[in-house]
Amino acid sequence: MDTIKQLEWRYATKKFDASKKLSKAKLNVITQAFNLTATSFGLQTIKLIVIEDKKIREPLVEAAYHQSQVLNASHLLIICIQKNIEDDDVKNYYNNIKDIRNTPENILKPYREDLISMMQGMSEQVGQQWSTNQAYIALGNLMTVCAIEGIDSCPMEGFSSTKYDEILKLDEKGLKSVLLLPIGYRAEDDMFATFKKVRKPIEEAVIII
Ligand SMILES: Cc1cc2nc3c(=O)[nH]c(=O)nc-3n(C[C@H](O)[C@H](O)[C@H](O)COP(=O)(O)O)c2cc1C
């Protein structure tokens, strides 16, 4: 596997081949990669919604400024954040650690209490921004995994989060959409696939001290 070759191969795909579907195995890699994404404290206040059904996706195109990737891709991934972070999120997380690692309660207790008070100290807006930061890490991780797996993708923040939340009734799930990632396989005639990558010279982008 040549990592750089795959990162050069990937591009923000504008036109997907609507007839090409991702296999269950490939989709499984993507969902697992999402769940393996590192998050601050490991709290995972983000959620991935995977939509294959085109009927559900149809009204989402207009709400993404008519970007057709949303419909033509094999699957549409929506990265969401929790609207609120509750004490139970922290408690469930520490219960999970206890179950998985057999960590004694006396060791976990102070960490759990610290994290609960830290989360309580965040306003709803600050908490949502904090979760949004995690969502971007997940986006980057998924884009790289897609590249390595030979899956095309298009990172997207060009959509109306309010409209997506309404259409998909995300409010009822306590979620807010923050990022889209249509995934699948590029159409043969997507001209963007042939464009050269535009990046700063490496010496300008990286400072080595
Ligand atoms: C956070 C983020 C949001 C983006 N939103 C959109 C979008 O809404 N629509 C789109 O076609 N491309 C979108 N892009 C793609 C960028 O324009 C593209 O990644 C960038 O120009 C570099 O090109 P490349 O990915 O093809 O190498 C987005 C990229 C990122 C990282």
Do the beta carbons of residue 19 and residue 152 sit within 8 Å?
no
Confidence (pLDDT) at 2: 95
Instruction: Tell whether pTM > 0.95.
Output: yes
Confidence (pLDDT) at 67: 98
Nearest protein Cα to ligand 1, atom 29? 155
Per-residue pLDDT of the chain (209 residues; tens, 9 = 90+): 799 999 999 999 999 999 999 999 999 999 999 999 999 999 999 999 999 999 999 999 999 999 999 999 999 999 999 999 999 999 999 999 999 999 999 999 999 999 999 999 999 999 999 999 999 999 999 999 999 999 999 999 999 999 999 999 999 999 999 999 999 999 999 999 999 999 999 999 999 99
Confidence (pLDDT) at 114: 98
Confidence (pLDDT) at 7: 98
Q: Which residues pair with 156 in a beta bridge?
A: 180
Nearest protein Cα to ligand 1, atom 18? 12
Structure tokens at 60: 């989402």
12 Cα to the center of ligand 1, angstroms: 6
Is CATH 3.40.109.10 the right assignment for the domain spanning 3-85+122-205? yes
Q: Report the nearest atom of ligand 1 relative to the CA of 136.
A: 1
Residue 8 Cβ < 6 Å to ligand 1: no
Would you kindly state where each structural domain of the chain is located, as residue ranges?
3-85+122-205
156 Cα to the center of ligand 1, angstroms: 6
Confidence (pLDDT) at 116: 98
Do the beta carbons of residue 49 and residue 99 sit within 8 Å?
no
Torsion sign across C-alpha atoms 160, 166, 169, 174: positive
The DSSP code for 160 is -
Torsion sign across C-alpha atoms 46, 132, 32, 24: positive
116 Cα to the center of ligand 1, angstroms: 36
How many other C-beta atoms can be found within 10 angstroms of the C-beta atom of residue 152?
27
Confidence (pLDDT) at 180: 98
Confidence (pLDDT) at 15: 98
Closest CA to 77 of 180, 185, 186: 180
Residue 157 Cβ < 6 Å to ligand 1: yes
Confidence (pLDDT) at 136: 98
